[in-house]
Structure 1
């Protein structure tokens, strides 16, 4: 059985110049009675106006992928990094025992995801990683962005989770990535698709749990993010966001 999780306007909250729609991925599998999809805890779909500043704040025991789809953002942190992020430069923040950072959009408005994952262990070392891809999001080709330690992914997640993205043009067809023992969670970053006789629009997600999705067809220019998750992986609940 394939379940669809729709973008819910009532889950949107605003803080001045930025707006976030929060998704609890576990609600796509109601039989598990869990707001988290295994260790995949929260997906925040954020829009930040130009001139936004989210001042220095702390994260603890969250694995956080900052996926900028449109625009750019400047990341600064307690390790001395000051790095612009965009669709051509992504960031994984492994918060561990403590990590401080701030975000700003001095040049243009920005649309992005922040994906919060529960780590396998608490109080690991805090760090940041960056992925450069000068070509941006590839068309008709899935790109591995992040994966578990030791898997040679561009960004390491301290958990059994893989993250991919793809851009599709009108009427393009593709199949979602798959790995044995991992459940697919397909998120529509932008555009619209048809999959498993369901129409999905911006902010919607679909999963079949332990059943893989079949053919995906775009019905307009579309960006998709696919997460492969071991929903039974051991994880900790100590994260300031992911542990909620």
Structure 2
């Protein structure tokens, strides 16, 4: 574990740069293919078409890196059977705590962008159009993406609140580490928005969420409770809807 901690401090941006680079590359390729095929001109493109592969690449990179230092992912996350009940309870608490600043950031950014008429723009900003894909492609990708998305929570907690925050804290201090990982977490989530204006709003929302999560992880000194909180969010807003789209469309 000491060698892994040293690696984090030597290259704190290693994992996050890989994640962001792979995400931008695959999003650009997906957008180009859809536009060339006349299926969609929307940017960002529909994330379920490329984001599963982002998690697959990042998962492989993390597994290989941890294996190199003889550290298991489970150990790094801090999961222990005797503490699982408490971790679930903490995760449920952090779910509500972390969404308070996210909701404030959402409402504030919507108001700054649209003023008092903001309520009429939510669907316009956040709704995602579906490209005209060949029959059967969207249901298959939805189901595939749902199962891959189950690993998203631990991967993102390792990348942002783990490797980046811990590594940068040892070099630049805790405050800078929490703010930087929150900023990059927000930038990543811009790609899930429905349009360019949504990208700005997503950035502020997930900056707030990321900073809150960073503070929580710093004080608890373990990733497990935040992973559980993150898992719950992903299952409710990601896995569940994708499975519904997949099975309804089959």
- TM-score, normalising length: structure 2: 0.24
More strand per residue: 1
Larger radius of gyration: 2
- TM-score, normalising length: structure 1: 0.24
More helix per residue: 2
